[in-house]
């Protein structure tokens, strides 16, 4: 795997934004899209996959009460990465094989991490 973080992607860390071939649940289509890694670093080290949630630049999609808006100012970007204004959709969750990660874009800010954690607790009653 190649990554913006500099060379071959080794470990993938919780709260990093990566690009993956996103599986659409209503068809066999896949599209390269950003996703937020929510599985913890220990799991990410021992597993061949990581658990991610969808990120989309379609700001009007999904369930607005659970969407988390982000811009580049909410992310520590790696290298020459960029991110359009987007929303994190914590209710669209899936596991992706680490070999399917194409880029590591950056790391979410602590403030936005707390927002994601709050929404995950609300959605899943954690």
Q: What is the pLDDT of residues 18-71, one digit of tens each?
A: 999 876 666 677 778 999 999 999 999 999 999 999 999 999 999 999 999 999
Q: How many domains does the chain have?
A: 1
* pLDDT reported for residue 116: 98
Whether this model's pTM surpasses 0.75? yes
Q: How high does pLDDT run on average in the chain?
A: 89
DSSP code of residue 117? H
Range of the domain at 49: 2-124
Is residue 103 within 8 Å of 81, Cβ to Cβ?
A: yes
For residue 112, the domain's CATH number is 2.30.30.110
- For residue 69, give the DSSP letter: E
Instruction: Show Cβ contacts of residue 6 under 8 Å, excluding neighbours closer than 6 positions.
Output: 78, 79
């Amino acid at each position: 795997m190649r990554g913006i973080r500099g060379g071959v992607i080794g470990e993938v860390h919780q709260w990093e934004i990566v690009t993956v071939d996103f599986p659409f649940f209503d068809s066999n289509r896949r599209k390269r899209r950003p996703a937020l890694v929510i599985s913890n670093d220990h799991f990410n080290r021992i597993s061949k996959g990581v658990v991610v949630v969808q990120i989309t630049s379609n700001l009007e999609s999904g369930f607005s009460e659970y969407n988390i808006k982000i811009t580049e100012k909410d992310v520590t970007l790696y290298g020459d990465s960029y991110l359009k204004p987007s929303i994190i959709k914590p209710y669209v969750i899936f596991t992706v094989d680490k070999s399917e990660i194409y880029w590591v874009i950056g790391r979410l800010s602590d403030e936005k991490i707390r927002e994601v954690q709050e929404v995950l607790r609300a959605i899943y009653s954690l």
